[in-house]
Amino acid sequence: MIEQEHLIDLQHISKDYDGVTVLDDINLYIRKKEFVTLLGPSGCGKTTTLRIIAGFETPSSGKLLFEGKDILDIPPYKRRVNTVFQKYALFPHLNVFDNIAFGLKLKKMPKDEIKRRVQSMLELVNLTGYEKRHVDALSGGQQQRIAIARSLVNEPEVLLLDEPLGALDLKLRKEMQLELKSMQQRLGITFLYVTHDQEEALTMSDTIVVMRDGHILQIGDPKHIYDEPANAFVADFIGESNIFRGTMVRDELVAFAGREFPCVDFGFGENVPVDVVVRPEDITVVGEDVGQLVGTIRSVLFKGVHYEMIIDCGEYTFKVHSTTMQPQGSRVGLSIVPFNIHIMRPMDTPKREAADDAV
Amino acid sequence: MRYNVSLPWWAYAVMGLGLAVFIGLVGLSIRRNHGIKRSLFSAPYTMWMILFTILPCILIAYYAFTDTAGNFTLDNFRTFWDSNSEMKKLVGEEYAASIPRGTVNVDTLVYSLWMAFLCTVISLLLGYPAALFMADRQMKLGASIVVLFVIPMWMNFLLRTIAWMSLLEDNGLINMMLNAMGFKSVRLMYNSGAVLLGMVYNYLPFMVFPIYTSLSKQNPSLHEAAADLGCSPMQTLTKVTMPLSLPGVISGITMVFMPSVTTFFIPRVLGGGNTMMFGDLIESKFLTEGNWNGGSALSLIMMLLILISLSILRKADPNGEGSGIV
B215 touches chain A (CB under 8 A): no
Contact A358, A237 (CB under 8 A): yes
Predicted local distance difference test score (pLDDT) of residue A358: 40
Look at strands A242-250 and A259-262 and give their pairing. unpaired
Hey, are the CB atoms on A89 and B219 less than 8 Å from each other?
yes
Selection from B78, B28, B58, B96 nearest residue B303 by Cα: B58
Pairwise CA distance, residues B228 & B213, whole Å: 25
Q: B106-289 belongs to which homologous superfamily? A: MetI-like (1.10.3720.10)
A218 touches chain B (CB under 8 A): no
The SS3 assignment for B183 reads coil
Task: Flag whether pLDDT at A359 surpasses 50.
Answer: no
Pairwise CA distance, residues A187 & A189, whole Å: 5
Selection from B157, B255, B244 nearest residue B210 by Cα: B255
Task: Flag whether pLDDT at A348 surpasses 70.
Answer: no
Task: Please state which of the ranges A325-339, B89-103, B127-141, B296-310 shows the lowest mean pLDDT.
Answer: B89-103
Q: What is the DSSP string of A15-32?
A: EEETTEEEEEEEEEEEET
**A89, A90, A107 member nearest B230 (Cβ):** A107
Selection from A172, A107, A183, A186 nearest residue A139 by Cα: A172
Alpha-carbon distances, residue A99 vs A110, A122, A132, B176 (angstroms): 16, 12, 10, 58
Residues of B in contact with A85 (CB under 8 A): 221, 224-225
Predicted local distance difference test score (pLDDT) of residue B32: 58
A173 touches chain B (CB under 8 A): no
- At B324, the pLDDT band (50, 70, 90 cuts) reads very low
Neighbours of A305 (CB within 10 A): 7
Q: Number of helices (H) and strands (E) in chain A: give both, helices first.
A: 9, 20
B228 touches chain A (CB under 8 A): yes
Pairwise CA distance, residues B176 & B171, whole Å: 6
What's the one-letter identity of residue A139? S
Alpha-carbon distances, residue B216 vs A181, B237, B238, B244 (angstroms): 37, 14, 16, 11
Pairwise CA distance, residues B278 & B264, whole Å: 7
Residues of B in contact with A151 (CB under 8 A): 228-229
- Residue range A73-98, pLDDT digits in tens: 999 999 999 999 988 899 999 999 99
Task: Flag whether pLDDT at B235 surpasses 50.
Answer: yes
Highest mean pLDDT: which of B17-21, B38-42, B152-156? Answer: B152-156
Strand positions, DSSP E, chain A: 6-17, 20-31, 35-39, 61-66, 69-70, 81-84, 158-162, 190-195, 207-212, 215-220, 242-250, 253-256, 259-262, 272-278, 284-286, 293-302, 307-313, 316-322, 331-335, 342-344
Higher pLDDT, B186 or A128: A128
- At A191, the pLDDT band (50, 70, 90 cuts) reads very high
B222 to chain A: nearest residue by CA? Answer: A89
Pairwise CA distance, residues B85 & B75, whole Å: 10
Task: Flag whether pLDDT at A50 surpasses 90.
Answer: yes
Predicted local distance difference test score (pLDDT) of residue B252: 93
- Residue range A306-332, pLDDT digits in tens: 999 999 988 899 999 998 888 898 899
Task: Flag whether pLDDT at B193 surpasses 50.
Answer: yes
- At B125, the pLDDT band (50, 70, 90 cuts) reads very high
A216 touches chain B (CB under 8 A): no
Task: Flag whether pLDDT at B294 surpasses 60.
Answer: yes
Q: What is the DSSP string of A214-252?
A: TEEEEEE-HHHHHHS-SSHHHHHHSS--EEEEEEEEETT
Hey, are the CB atoms on A77 and B228 less than 8 Å from each other?
yes
B218 touches chain A (CB under 8 A): no
DSSP state of A163: S
B227 to chain A: nearest residue by CA? Answer: A77
- Residue range B7-16, pLDDT digits in tens: 777 778 877 8
B217 touches chain A (CB under 8 A): no
Selection from B187, B175, B155 nearest residue B274 by Cα: B187
A114 touches chain B (CB under 8 A): no
What's the one-letter identity of residue B295? G
Task: Flag whether pLDDT at A236 surpasses 90.
Answer: no
Selection from A219, A279, A274 nearest residue A248 by Cα: A274
Residues of A in contact with B240 (CB under 8 A): 91, 93
Suggest the residue from B140, B223, B228, B317 to mutate for an interface test with chain A (most A CBs closer than 10 A): B228
Hey, are the CB atoms on A75 and B230 less than 8 Å from each other?
no
Task: Give me the percent of chain B exceeding a pLDDT of 70.
Answer: 83
Predicted local distance difference test score (pLDDT) of residue B103: 60
Q: What is the DSSP string of A27-70?
A: EEEEETT-EEEEE-STTSSHHHHHHHHHTSS--SEEEEEETTEE
DSSP state of B136: -
Higher pLDDT, A243 or A4: A243
Suggest the residue from B138, B217, B229 to mutate for an interface test with chain A (most A CBs closer than 10 A): B229
Start-to-end CA distance of chain B, whole Å, equals 40
Task: Flag whether pLDDT at A352 surpasses 60.
Answer: no
DSSP state of B15: H
Predicted local distance difference test score (pLDDT) of residue A357: 41
Hey, are the CB atoms on A76 and B235 less than 8 Å from each other?
no
- Residue range B68-112, pLDDT digits in tens: 888 888 888 888 877 666 666 666 666 666 655 556 778 888 889
The backbone torsions φ and ψ at residue B302, rounded to the nearest 5 degrees and listed phi first, read: -60, -45
Task: Flag whether pLDDT at A206 surpasses 80.
Answer: yes
Distance from CA of A100 to the nearest CA of B (A): 10
B319 to chain A: nearest residue by CA? Answer: A93
Suggest the residue from A74, A85, A148 to mutate for an interface test with chain B (most B CBs closer than 10 A): A85
Pairwise CA distance, residues A66 & B324, whole Å: 50
Predicted local distance difference test score (pLDDT) of residue A219: 93
Task: Flag whether pLDDT at B1 surpasses 70.
Answer: no
A80 touches chain B (CB under 8 A): no
Task: Flag whether pLDDT at A1 surpasses 50.
Answer: no
